C-alpha cells in the first residue's frame, strides 16, 4: 500500500506540526519538509511512498550528494519515546534548528508525543536575544532544546557575562547537542556552568539521535564491523526515496536483524557498550600512501588555543597526492581578507601537534584563514565550499 507524498514549507514549524500530526496518525499524506515558504501541502509531483512512511528528509549533503530518507511513523515515535526516557521524561521543547532537517522535525515529533507546544525561534534564525526570549517562554516543568555545537559555543561564551542567560540555560532539563563532534573544551565549559548537555549521535537514517553520551537509547544496538559503525533498532529508516541501490548498500540483514551501515568509523567498548565515533569513512585521504582521517586531524587542531573552529579538508598536492589543509576564521582582532594563508610559525605549531598525535602524514600542509566558516542550514560546516576556499588560497 502507498500514500501520497507532499512538499510542505518548514518556514512555519507550528503549521508544519499540524500536517505532521496527521501524517503520524495515518490520516494525512506523508510530508517532505523544505526550507523557505511554499504553499502549504503543495504536491510533490504526485510521488507515492510506502504507506508506513510519514516523513521524507532530504539530507544536507555536507560531504556528498543529498539523499531523501524515508522515515516511518514507528521509527519517529520510537525515537521520541526513547529520547524522553533517556532524558528523564517528556516535556516542552525550544526549536532552535531548521524544521526541514531531522533534528528539527524530531523536536516537533517529541512535542506531538508529549502533547506540548514547542516554542519556535522567530524566523528560524538563531541569535542570543531570541534564544533567551524563547527559553523564558517555556512553561512546562521539563524543558529541552536541541543545538549544534556552534550554537552551544555562542551560548556558553555569552553566559559567562550574562546572568539572565545563564539562569535560563540552567533551567533546561536537557540540552541535546549533535550533528557533529562536540569539542571537549566546550563540554568542560558547559559543565563548569552547571548545564546539562547531552551529546547526541545519529542521523536522518536513524530518525535522529539514537546514542546519548555514548550509550544507545531505547532498543537501539550499535556494533563495529571492520571499523565501521552499524546500527539496528526500531528507529531505522525505510530506505532512500527513488534509490533502491543505495538502500540495499546501506541497509542490510544479518541473522534476521536489519542493520544500517553508518559510514562512520568507530568502535564499541565490549564491557560498557560505550560507542566511540572516530570520523567519516568518506573523510579519509591517502597522503603519500598513508590513510589520514581528516576528522582526526580536526580534533587535534581544535584542541589548540584559538583554533576551536578549525575545519580540516583535503588539498591536492603534486608530491603526496592529497594533504590535510586546515581552514579557520580570522581572529577577531585581525583584518579579514578572504581567503589567505599565514606565515610559518602558526603552521609549525599545528604541524608539530598533529604529527605528535597522528604521525607525519597527518601534518597539515597549509593553514588557511577565511572571514568566516561557511555553514549549511543544518549548522554543519560546508566542507565542499571550504575545500574550494582552501584551493583558492593556494593559487
* 50-103 pLDDT, tens digit each: 999 999 999 865 555 679 999 999 999 999 999 999 999 999 999 999 999 999
**Measured distance CA(40)–CA(303) in Å, rounded:** 45
Q: Do 233 and 375 share a domain, yes or no? A: no
Alpha helices in the chain (DSSP H): 13-25, 73-87, 102-114, 128-137, 149-159, 163-170, 184-192, 244-250, 294-302, 344-358, 383-394
Alpha helices in 26-88 (DSSP H): 73-87
Residue holding cell 579557520? 328
Of 282, 294, 263, residue with least CA distance to 361 = 294
Task: Output the pLDDT for position 329.
Answer: 86
For the entire predicted model, the pTM comes to 0.83
Q: Do 76 and 181 share a domain, yes or no? A: yes
Backbone angles phi, psi at 201, to 5 degrees: -125, 130
Task: Output the pLDDT for position 15.
Answer: 94
Task: Answer yes or no: are the C-beta atoms of 358 and 296 closer than 8 Å.
Answer: yes
Task: Answer yes or no: are the C-beta atoms of 273 and 216 closer than 8 Å.
Answer: yes
Which of 250, 276, 302 finishes a domain?
276
Which residues, 6+ apart, have CB-to-CB distance to 88 below 8 Å? 142, 173, 174
| Per-position DSSP letters for 249-292, written without gaps between them | HHEEEETTEEEEEEEEEEEE-TTT--EEEEEEGGGEEEETTEEE
Residue 46 Cα distances to 2, 6, 55, angstroms: 12, 8, 15
Helix 149-159 to helix 128-137 angle (10° resolution) is 90
In terms of phi and psi (left: phi > 0; alpha: psi -120 to 50; beta: otherwise), the region of 370 is beta
Q: Do 42 and 166 share a domain, yes or no? A: yes
Backbone angles phi, psi at 63, to 5 degrees: -125, 0
**Measured distance CA(108)–CA(366) in Å, rounded:** 43
Neighbours of 184 (CB within 10 A): 11
Q: Do 296 and 267 share a domain, yes or no? A: no
Q: Do 253 and 220 share a domain, yes or no? A: yes
**Measured distance CA(68)–CA(389) in Å, rounded:** 28
Q: Do 173 and 315 share a domain, yes or no? A: no
Q: Do 258 and 350 share a domain, yes or no? A: no
Which of 276, 301, 324 finishes a domain?
276
Question: How many whole angstroms from its chain centre is CA 16?
Answer: 21
Q: Do 194 and 298 share a domain, yes or no? A: no
Q: Do 272 and 292 share a domain, yes or no? A: no
CATH of residue 363's domain is 3.30.300.30
Task: Output the pLDDT for position 230.
Answer: 97
The answer to whether residue 281 sits within a structural domain is no
Rounded to 10 degrees, the C-alpha dihedral 182/183/184/186 comes to -90
The answer to whether residue 75 sits within a structural domain is yes
The answer to whether residue 282 sits within a structural domain is no
Using 70 as the pLDDT threshold, list the residues of the chain that sit under it: 37-46, 60-65, 123-124, 331-345, 378, 393-395
Task: Output the pLDDT for position 42.
Answer: 46
Of 305, 316, 293, 299, residue with least CA distance to 366 = 316
The domain in which residue 377 lies consists of 288-394
Please give the tally of structural domains in the chain: 2
CATH of residue 92's domain is 3.40.50.12780
Exposure b/e, 217-242, CB count within 10 A at least 16 = b: bbebebebeeeebbbbbbbbbbbbbe
Q: Do 237 and 382 share a domain, yes or no? A: no
Amino acid at each position: 500500500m502507498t500514500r501520497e507524498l507532499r512538499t510542505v514549507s518548514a518556514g512555519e514549524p507550528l503549521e508544519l506540526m499540524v500536517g505532521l500530526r496527521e501524517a503520524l496518525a495515518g490520516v494525512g499524506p506523508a510530508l517532505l519538509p523544505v526550507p523557505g515558504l511554499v504553499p502549504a501541502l503543495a504536491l510533490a509531483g504526485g510521488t507515492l511512498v510506502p504507506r508506513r512512511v510519514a516523513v521524507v528528509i532530504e539530507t544536507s549533503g555536507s560531504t556528498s550528494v543529498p539523499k531523501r530518507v524515508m522515515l516511518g511513523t514507528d521509527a519517529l515515535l520510537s525515537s521520541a519515546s526513547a529520547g524522553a526516557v533517556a532524558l528523564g521524561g517528556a516535556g516542552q521543547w525550544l526549536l532552535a534548528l531548521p524544521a526541514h532537517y531531522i533534528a528539527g522535525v524530531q523536536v516537533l515529533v517529541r512535542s506531538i508525543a508529549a502533547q506540548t507546544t514547542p516554542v519556535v525561534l522567530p524566523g528560524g534564525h538563531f541569535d542570543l536575544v531570541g534564544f533567551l526570549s524563547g527559553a523564558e517562554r517555556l512553561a512546562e516543568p521539563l524543558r529541552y532544546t536541541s543545538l549544534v555545537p556552534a550554537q552551544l559555543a555562542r551560548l556558553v561564551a555569552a553566559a559567562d557575562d550574562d546572568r539572565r542567560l545563564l539562569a535560563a540555560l540552567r533551567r533546561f532539563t536537557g540540552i541535546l547537542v549533535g550533528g557533529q563532534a562536540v569539542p571537549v573544551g566546550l563540554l568542560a565549559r558547559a559543565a563548569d556552568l552547571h548545564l546539562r548537555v547531552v551529546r547526541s549521535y545519529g542521523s536522518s537514517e536513524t530518525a535522529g539521535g539514537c546514542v546519548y553520551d555514548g550509550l544507545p537509547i531505547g532498543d537501539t544496538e550499535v556494533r563495529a564491523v571492520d571499523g565501521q559503525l552499524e546500527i539496528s533498532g526500531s528507529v531505522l529508516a525505510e530506505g532512500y526515496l527513488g534509490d533502491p541501490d543505495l538502500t540495499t548498500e546501506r541497509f542490510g540483514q544479518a541473522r534476521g536483524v536489519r542493520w544500517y551501515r553508518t559510514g562512520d568509523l568507530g568502535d564499541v567498548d565490549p564491557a560498557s557498550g560505550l560507542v566511540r565515533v572516530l570520523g567519516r569513512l568518506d573523510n579519509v585521504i591517502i597522503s603519500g600512501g598513508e590513510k589520514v582521517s581528516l576528522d582526526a586531524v580536526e580534533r587535534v587542531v581544535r584542541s589548540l588555543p584559538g583554533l576551536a573552529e578549525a575545519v580540516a579538508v583535503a588539498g591536492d598536492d603534486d608530491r603526496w597526492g592529497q594533504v590535510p589543509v586546515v581552514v579557520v576564521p580570522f581572529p577577531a582582532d585581525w583584518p579579514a581578507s578572504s581567503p589567505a594563508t599565514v606565515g610559518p610559525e602558526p603552521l609549525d605549531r599545528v604541524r608539530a601537534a598533529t604529527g605528535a598525535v597522528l604521525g607525519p602524514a597527518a601534518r597539515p600542509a597549509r593553514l588557511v584563514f577565511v572571514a568566516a566558516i561557511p555553514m549549511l542550514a543544518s549548522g554543519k560546516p560546508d566542507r565542499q565550499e571550504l575545500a574550494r576556499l582552501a584551493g583558492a588560497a593556494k593559487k
